[in-house]
Structure 1
Amino acid sequence: MDIIQQASIDWASAHLACEAAMLQAQALSVHVSIAVVDRNGRTIAFLCDPLAPFHCSDIATDKAYTAASFGLPTHRWTEISQSMSVAVKEGLLQRDRMVMFGGGFPIVVDGERVGGIGVSGASETQDMECAVAALNKIGADKESV
């Protein structure tokens, strides 16, 4: 039997990512929730502005989960879904944690997916900007974006 070893984001980097995203949100004067999950979708770090809408906590986590699962930024699903059959698209949309709009990114380090980050609470573009600030802060590969 072969043993598979997979890298995953550590708690310190996950917390640093959350902090960087929140600082970017403050610079934009927006109120967001931020979640970082490991490569298996488990929440490693979470940070929420007390003024962020309640539902954004779950949406941020689901964005991170979707990005970590598929290895794609969540905003790419809008384009990808255009070429899907109706059955496939509806099937994906019925998944509890599937998000197909911006604010979620895979976290890739040295070419290996180690987790995902999700930001929710501002506009789609602002959520994405906060997540990218986090990826830059922790030194994630540019293909994460």
Structure 2
Amino acid sequence: MKNLSRRARITTGAAALAVVGAAAFGTVSANASAPAAGPAQSVPAAGPAQSVAQGATTTSTHLTIDAATRAARAALDAAEAEHQRVTVAVVDRNGNTIVTLRGDGAGPQSYESAERKAFTAVSWNAPTSELSGRLQQTPNLKDIPGTLFLGGGVPVTDRNAPIAGIGVAGAPSGTLDEKYARAGAAALDR
């Protein structure tokens, strides 16, 4: 038998390993997708999707990304008109962030604070400035994850049901933050 060069031996070995690896992968893949054999196992036949009874579901209203962006932009513009550096967050009914705009020069803490204020406002369907007063009677409210009971968050409602929250953070006071958040909510009425 002829002696193979070092390069040929490495190439041949790599090719052999690739073939063995591909065969093993194919076997594992085939076994992972094949149902286990056995007389006791039966697979139900696929049928049409089942409908639920009428009245067993609810429908909720959500802001579009365009509406959320319009509200956030209006809040940021109101703050910038007064030379305030803020961050604005708009969250949906479930507290998920739809859009966040961090204004030029806004502090690093303002990002999370704006989101938490928006979440708090939509969760309780009330401005956070009102909710901060409730802490005197129930101080453990502040322990609820994701909430922030400082002025600057307002709910957005549709037919008196909360559908979003707008939070603003970074101005020198919660009163100013809330003023800008209200400007964002007002932009949705147009």
Shift of 1:132: 0.8
SS in 1 for 2:58: coil
Q: Does residue 1:60 correspond to 2:114, yes or no? A: yes
SS in 2 for 1:75: helix
Amino acid at match of 2:184: A
Q: Paired residue for 2:77?
A: 23
Superposition TM-score, scaled by structure 2 size: 0.67
Q: Paired residue for 1:120?
A: 169
CA distance in 2, matches of 1:96, 1:5: 26
Q: Paired residue for 1:74?
A: 128
Matching of residues 1-145 of structure 1 within 5 Å: 1=53, 2-84=56-138, 89-90=139-140, 92-122=141-171, 123-139=173-189
Shift of 1:124: 1.1
CA distance in 1, matches of 2:75, 2:132: 23
SS in 2 for 1:25: helix
Unpaired segments ≥5 residues, structure 2? 1-52
SS in 1 for 2:133: helix
SS in 2 for 1:82: coil
Unpaired segments ≥5 residues, structure 1? 141-145
Identity of aligned residues (%): 32
Shift of 1:23: 0.7
CA distance in 1, matches of 2:144, 2:134: 16
RMSD over equivalenced CA pairs, Å = 1.4
Query: Contact 1:62/1:118 (CA < 8 Å) preserved in 2?
Result: yes
Q: Aligned residues, how many?
A: 135
SS in 1 for 2:121: helix
Runs of 4+ in 1 over 4 A off after TM superposition: none
Shift of 1:112: 2.4
Larger Rg: 2
